[in-house]
Amino acid sequence: MRTLVLNAGYEPLAVVTFRRALVLVLTGKASVVAEDDEPIVGPSEILGRPSVILLNRYVKIPYRHDVAATRRGVLRRDNHLCAYCGRTASTIDHVMPRSRGGADTWENLVACCLTLQQRQGGQDPGQPGLVPARRAPAAAGSPVADQGVGEACAAVERVPHGEGCVSEPGPRFDAVVLAGGRSSRLGGVPKAGLLLDGETLLHRTCAVLDQAARIVVVGPVPGGIAASLPGTPSFVREEPPFAGPAAAVVAGFAALDPGRSPWCAVVACDMPRLGELLPLLLAEASADTRASLVAVDDGRDQPLAALYRSADLAASIGAVLARGSADNLSMRSLLATVRSRPVPVPRGTTYDVDTWNDARALGVDVP
């Protein structure tokens, strides 16, 4: 349950947990504007569960006059729906291509599915099928001006944090994506390039990880689409190639140095349901920072569906490399000294594509 916080002037300011909102109300710093239907039952009294609160003191926020257009902001504005065909969008597109003078503005950017983005390229936007079905609105001077409460809740996450701001960002993390296996049971077909709903599995994975500070893909650079991948990932290879997942994790993690984030997500590129998994791990990391988090799916630990404390992962990798190499090492051996906590996830959340039967079961296109 989340609560919308309004500034004293009634403009949306932040979104916090209802517990944080209740503390603000009980300490006299805010008043309840709206309550949820389900009350909070305490040992001695029953309290309303606030859904919207109003700060009693105005908090000055250094709003920018012009809000820069961002990929994440455009996708949220367009509800992750392609402006051309209405399908699910995971990237953005310039209505007037940059090669023809199109600018990176809210008016010229729309959400787009990968299929139509590649189809448009630098073509004339007036051609049939390349005209957005809906107009891209401009952003007002304030990030939350002229928006409903639901949209404001999304927009407020982009508001710069000023003094006294009470927003609660998620944990800062980097991501290492493993995408360079042999795919032996797929006849050598690279998993990263398999298609699901018109998008490659690598593209979908990077789209889910777009909120990461940095993304490193361990695997070959995909021809022609690397520049269009969400999150602008960098690419590295383990040496020698195909030395196993542990060696790939070591190579990817090393590429994040220096300046690593406190957390590091380690995932395989062929998990179509990563979008369901990642929020669960991030929520657990926000609640308890004392241990790394490993997804447990159907009773099995999944070390390649995990959120590791970077300091612990660095120490464990350092201990392994001090003894020799990580080539062909098991993930269990690589992570031997990492203190981790299991996170049960819905069954199938970590299912990946090892065989063509797996691909069919997950809805992945089969040649």
| Of 33-47, 250-264, 295-309, the least confident | 33-47
Q: Could you give the CA distance from residue 147 to residue 262 in angstroms, rounded to a whole number?
A: 34
AA identity, residue 324: G
The predicted-structure confidence for 154-197, as pLDDT tens digits, reads as follows 433 343 333 333 334 568 999 999 998 888 899 999 999 999 98
**pLDDT value of position 141:** 39
Q: Could you give the CA distance from residue 118 to residue 111 in angstroms, rounded to a whole number?
A: 13
> E strand or H helix at 18, and its extent?
helix 18-26
Q: What percent of the chain has pLDDT over 70?
A: 80
**pLDDT value of position 161:** 37
pTM of this prediction? 0.57
Question: Beta strands 2-6 and 46-55: pairing type?
Answer: parallel
Q: Confidence class of residue 142 from pLDDT cuts 50, 70 and 90?
A: very low
The residue ranking higher by pLDDT, 267 or 144, is: 267
- Do the beta carbons of residue 269 and residue 350 sit within 8 Å? no
Count Cβ atoms below 10 Å from residue 36 Cβ, excluding itself.
Answer: 14
**pLDDT value of position 133:** 55
Q: Could you give the CA distance from residue 269 to residue 230 in angstroms, rounded to a whole number?
A: 13
Q: Could you give the CA distance from residue 17 to residue 227 in angstroms, rounded to a whole number?
A: 37
CATH of domain 173-357: 3.90.550.10
- The domains of the chain are located at 2-63+148-158, 71-120, 173-357
AA identity, residue 121: G
Q: Could you give the CA distance from residue 214 to residue 265 in angstroms, rounded to a whole number?
A: 10
The predicted-structure confidence for 91-109, as pLDDT tens digits, reads as follows 888 888 877 888 888 888 8
Residue 6 Cα distances to 132, 256, 280, 299, angstroms: 34, 38, 27, 43
User: Which structure tokens are listed for 44?
Assistant: 């001695």
Average pLDDT of the chain to the nearest whole number: 81
Q: Using CA of residue 176, residue 180, residue 181, residue 185, what is the dihedral sign?
A: positive
Region 116-145: mean pLDDT is: 50
The predicted-structure confidence for 53-99, as pLDDT tens digits, reads as follows 988 887 766 544 456 677 777 887 887 888 888 888 878 888 888 77
**pLDDT value of position 130:** 52
Exposure of 221 in the CB half-sphere (CA atoms within 13 A)? 10
**pLDDT value of position 318:** 94
**pLDDT value of position 157:** 38
Q: Confidence class of residue 151 from pLDDT cuts 50, 70 and 90?
A: very low
